[in-house]
Chain A
Amino acid sequence: MNALEIHKLGKMYNNTKVALLDVSLEVPEGSFFALLGPNGAGKSTLINILADTVRPSSGSISLLGHELFLERAWCKRRMGVVPQEIAFDPFFSPREILRFSRGMYGQKNDDTWVDELLERLELTEHAHKITRQLSGGMRRRLLVAQALVHRPKVVILDEPTAGVDVELRKRLWDFMRELNAAGTTILLTTHYLEEAEELCDHVAIIDQGKVITSQSMQALLGDVASSSLYLRYAHTLQLSSQDRAALAGFYPRINQGQLCLTLNKLGETSNFDQAYQLARQCFGSPLTVTVGQEDLEDVFLRLTGEKKSEKQGGTTG
């Protein structure tokens, strides 16, 4: 069964701005699902519709086989959402907030689970402080704890690690992995693509309110990923529109300071020479040249960039 089935979901703000356009997605039960997209792609709108803080304009969603818009209460009890924006009740301590959160989901207090959550999210020593006294990272971890306190079957995390340091991020993901291994479906959005690649078994990329691709991570990196040419220069490169035009066939982009050019789909004939010569004409000789398989970040940049250039072409053409 799918944990989530989203069918032709649409959202238009103020009858003018299209945020989602016929988005259809399937999130398998028990999966660790990455929902990726550039800023403004519609990820948060999608999550806010799931969370019932934004109304959809069209479409339907089912959660574990139940219609979300018809059986809200049933679905809400099985869903935990970490909103992107930090929110905290200034009157109460983390422990009180967790107790209230659990109660509002219709569940009796469970101090053992609350203690465990506080401990796993490293909030135990701050459990009695008023939330105003917590740092940004602590408040974000508290949001994660709030989403988990009623033991949901589907956990939705909208940028849960923004502003959380590397070490804590790692421990947070270890915890999420454990929950996932125990059967919880996890849907997350993140800008840390290496983390998504490492953690998730499924991935969907959305841009400008549309789904560009949705498949297993293995399939995406196996079938969609191409081999790429990575050229490192002594100076930081800026891609002018002229450079983009000259290298158009190779989806030029800057990734981690390197110029990346897509050569071909894996297994197809390489056009290495042509790409290398064109790059030299534009930027001169590079310091290092590497050929490798694209990682998730490359695929993401290429697919979202690819779409943008299509649109630009469409507009000018």
Chain B
Amino acid sequence: MRSFNFIGTWTLFQRESRRFLRVKMQTIVAPALTAILYLIVFRYAMGERSVPGLDVDYFSFLIPGLMMMAMLQNAFANTSSSMIVGKIMNVHVFLLMAPISAGEAVFAFLAAAVLRALVVGGVLLLVLLPFSDLSLAHVWMILFYGICGSLIMGSLGLIGGMWSKTFDDMAMVNNFIIMPLTFLSGVFYSVSQLPPFWQAINAWNPFFYLIDGFRHGFIGTGDSDPWQAIGAVGAMTLLSIMAAWYLWHIGWKLKE
């Protein structure tokens, strides 16, 4: 029976974490600045109005959505960029040659993706909190959705990175799948404002549950049924991790 390669997994986690910490301007400061710019723009565009259907001002509604969006995008970026750079620079062969199993590799990659998402989310919270009267209604929900969302996006980033052959492929996944799904998931508006048809469509957008549930943790209310959302997010998390593990295990697009 094979024993767990603890040092190997820890080393890979360190490598993947140091990679983003080494380029902090790009990985932490830039997402924070982007979120602040969104806030400034929407603050002046929307004024003091509150969100229909939810008893909350637009600023408090927007902040958790922007935080979660930045966290999701950064978790995705951490694993996908490492995979695609590794493949293009041919460095991924060192990972394949090392005695690191698919489970250990996926664990280390996802742990680093979650760390990056939490660092980005934490920085945003510290920067934005002083400018709002946002509360932390249910901390466990914030953590549950924050971590599950990062795990899902980290897994999708791994899969996207395995699939991509070029930076262009990766940009395509990011711009045509990830960005629309995150933008159209209720970051900037409450889905109760949408026509019934689009509300029904939205119920199938996994990112909607992540953002709505995460926001629920802050403002204490949301668009979706909390238990339905927890079930959907939990299942999605397991499914995406298992898919990433399986594809790594069979060496999909990694081994000839």
Contact = CB atoms under 8 A, between A and B. Distances in A.
Interface in A40-81: 48, 51-55, 72-74, 76-77, 81
Given A100-B15, A104-B100, A106-B5, A53 B93 contact: yes
Interface in B1-44: 2, 5-8, 10-12, 14-15, 18-19, 22-23
Interface residues of A, number: 33
B256 A90 contact: no
A160 interface: no
A264 B217 CA distance: 87
A307 to B, nearest CB: 26
A72 B99 contact: yes
A52 B91 CA distance: 14
A143 B139 CA distance: 47
Given A73-B5, A105-B8, A87 B98 contact: no
A85 B91 CA distance: 10
A83 B93 contact: yes
B202 interface: no
A73 B93 contact: no
Interface residues of B, number: 32
Given A89-B89, A100-B11, A101-B94, A13 B99 contact: no
Given A13-B256, A87-B90, A103 B10 contact: yes
Which among A73, A104, A106, A107 has the highest number of chain B CB atoms within 10 Å?
Answer: A104
B49 interface: no
B97 interface: yes
Interface string A96-138: 1001110111111000000000000000000000000000000
B93 A51 contact: yes
B123 interface: no
A107 B93 contact: no
B101 interface: yes
A104 B8 contact: yes
Contacts of B23: 91
A272 interface: no
Contacts of A54: 255-256
A85 B22 CA distance: 26
Interface in B122-168: none
Contacts of A104: 8, 11-12, 94-95, 98-100
A103 B7 contact: yes
B97 A87 contact: no
B178 interface: no
Nearest to B93: A53
Which among A76, A99, A108 has the highest number of chain B CB atoms within 10 Å?
Answer: A76
A110 to B, nearest CB: 12
Nearest to A96: B18
A88 interface: yes
A85 B8 contact: no
Contact of B22 (A81, A91, A108): A91
B89 A88 contact: yes
Contacts of B7: 103, 106-108
B53 interface: no
Nearest to A19: B256
Given A73-B2, A90-B89, A103 B11 contact: yes
A238 B91 CA distance: 42
A89 B83 CA distance: 12
A51 B95 CA distance: 10
Contacts of A85: 90
A85 B94 CA distance: 12
B52 interface: no
Contacts of A74: 2, 99
Which 10 pairs of residues, A with B, have the shortest CB-CB distance? Answer: A103-B11, A87-B90, A76-B99, A104-B98, A73-B99, A106-B5, A104-B8, A51-B97, A106-B8, A54-B256
Interface of A: 13, 48, 51-55, 72-74, 76-77, 81, 83, 85-92, 96, 99-101, 103-108, 146
16 contacts: A53-B254, A73-B99, A81-B97, A91-B18, A91-B23, A92-B18, A100-B14, A103-B8, A103-B12, A104-B12, A104-B100, A105-B8, A106-B6, A107-B7, A108-B7, A146-B94
